[in-house]
Structure 1
Amino acid sequence: MDNRSYFLEEQRCVKKNGSQEISAHCDEELHFDIPPTAAWGTTEVQLREDLTEERQETLEDTANAFQGRGRVVRNNTHFCALTSCPRILQNKKKGKMGVTFRNSASEGSIFIGKRTVKDGECCGVWDVAGKYSIIMGPQRKWMMFSRFIFMDRLIADSHQYLEVRYRNGKKENKRGPLSMFEDPIVHESIAVMNAVTVDAFEVIVVYSEDEHGNVKRNVVHGPTVFIPDVNQWLHVFRWHGSRGKDLHEKVPGALVFTKLRTIPDQFYYNAEGVRTADDTSLTVKVMVFFQLTNLEVMLNSTHDPIGDFINALLADLMNFGCSYSYEQFVQNAQQLSELDTFPVMCGRASAIGFTIGKVVYRGYAASTQLQNLCESAIKTRTELKLKAEEQEQRERMRDYEVRGAHGRGDAERAEELAKQEHQLAMRAAQHQESLKQAEDAHSKALRQKEQMAQVELAAKVAEEQAHLAYLQGLKDMGVDLTQYLVSKSEKQPDKVLKVVTAPSHFSALPINSVSHIGGLNIHTNV
Structure 2
Amino acid sequence: MKFMTVKEREEALIFNVQGEGRLVVGPQRVFLFRERLEQLKLVCASQYQYLVMKDRFGMVTHKRGPCEMFHNPLEHDSVYVENAIKIDANHMIIVYHRVKQSVERSVIRGPAIFFPEAEEWLHKFVWHGSDPQDKARMIPSSRKFTQLAAIPDQFYYNVRDVRTTDDIIITVKLMIFYGLQDVITMLDTTHDPVADMINAVCADVIAYVGRRTYAQFLEQTDELSRLTTFPQLVQRTERVGFSVHKVVYRGYHATEQLQAMQTEAIEARTRLRLDAEIEGQRQQLVDYKLEKEQARTKLRQSMEESKQNHKQKVDGLKQAHELGMKQEEHKYQLEIEDKWVRARLDLQAGEQKDAEEHLRELHHLGVDMTKYMLSQQAAPVNEEVQFVGLDRKGS
Query: In the alignment, is residue 385 of structure 1 matched against residue 264 of structure 2?
Result: no
Q: TM-score, normalised by structure 1?
A: 0.56
Does 1:250 find its partner at 2:138?
yes
**Residues 5-41 of structure 1: CA distance to partner in whole angstroms, max 9, x if unpaired?**
xxxxxxxxxxxxxxxxxxxxxxxxxxxxxxxxxxxxx
Deviations 1:244-274 (A, max 9, x none): 4543322222222222221222222232223
Structure 2: runs of 5 or more not aligned: 329-356, 362-395
2:56 counterpart (159, 162, 167): 167
Separation in 2 of the partners of 1:301 and 1:383? 54
SS of 1:242's equivalent in the other structure is strand
Cα distance between partner residues in 2 of 1:154 and 1:272:
55
1:362-399 C-alpha deviation (Å, 9 max, x unpaired): 23333334333332332333333333333343334334
Tell me the residue number matched to 2:11.
122
How far residue 175 of structure 1 moved from its aligned partner, in angstroms, is: 0.5
- 1:170: Cα distance to partner? 1.6
**Is 1:266 matched up with 2:130?**
no
Question: Relative to 1, partners in 2 of residues 1:119 and 1:329: Cα closer, same or farther, differing over 3 Å?
Answer: farther
Deviation per residue, 1:134-154 (Å, 9 max, x gap): 233333433344445433322
- Cα distance change on mapping 1:145 and 1:270 into 2, 3 Å: farther
* Structure 2 residue 111 is the aligned partner of structure 1 residue 209: no
Shift of 1:423: 6.1
Identity %: 38
SS in 2 for 1:298: helix
1:180 aligns with 2:72: no
Q: Secondary structure at the match of 2:137?
A: coil
- Among 303, 314, 319, the residue aligned to 2:191: 303
TM-score (norm 2): 0.72
Displacement of 1:414: 4.1
Q: State the Cα distance separating 1:115 from its structure 2 match.
A: 3.8
Matched, 1:397 2:292: no
- Per the alignment, residue 239 of structure 1 pairs with 127
1:372 and 1:116 map into 2 onto residues whose CA distance is: 86
Residue correspondence of structure 1 range 309-328 to structure 2 within 5 A? 309-328=197-216
Quick one: distance in 2 between partners of 1:372 and 1:185? 77
The reply to whether residue 131 of structure 1 matches residue 131 of structure 2 is no
Structure possessing the higher relative contact order (Cα contacts under 8 Å, 6 or more residues apart): 2
Confirm whether residue 329 of structure 1 aligns to residue 217 of structure 2: yes
Partner of 2:168: 280
Whether 2:108 is the aligned partner of 1:220: answer yes
> Is 1:361 the counterpart of 2:249 in the alignment?
yes
Tell me which amino acid in the other structure corresponds to 2:266: I
Code of the residue aligned with 1:340 in structure 2: it is: T
Q: Which amino acid is the alignment partner of residue 82 of structure 2?
A: M
Distance 1:199 1:425, change over 3 A: farther
Per-residue deviation, 1:320: 2.6
Distance change in 2, residues 1:413/1:122 (3 Å): same
> What is the count of residue pairs matched by the alignment?
330
Query: Aligned match of 2:180 in 268, 292, 295?
Result: 292
Question: Deviation at 1:122?
Answer: 2.9
Q: 3-state SS of the aligned residue for 1:249?
A: strand
Secondary structure in 2 aligned to 1:359? Answer: strand
Structure 1 unaligned blocks of 5 or more:
1-111, 442-490, 496-526
Of Structure 1 and Structure 2, the greater helix share is in 2
Gap change, CA 1:120 and 1:372, over 3 Å in 2: farther
Distance 1:147 1:367, change over 3 A: farther
Give the Cα–Cα distance (whole angstroms) in 2 for the partners of residues 324 and 169 of structure 1: 66
Which AA in structure 2 matches 1:247?
K
Aligned to 1:97: none
- Pair member with larger Rg: 1
Residue of structure 1 in register with 2:262 after alignment: 374
Residue 364 to residue 139, structure 1, CA distance change in 2 (3 Å): farther
RMSD: 3.3
In the alignment, the residues of structure 2 paired with residue 264 and residue 116 of structure 1 have an alpha-carbon distance, to the nearest angstrom, of 62
**Shift in CA distance, 317/423, structure 1 to aligned 2, threshold 3 Å:** farther
Counterpart-to-counterpart distance in 1, 2:134 and 2:5? 57
Matches of 1:426 and 1:298, distance apart in 2 = 95
CA distance in 2: counterparts of 1:427 and 1:134, whole angstroms: 132
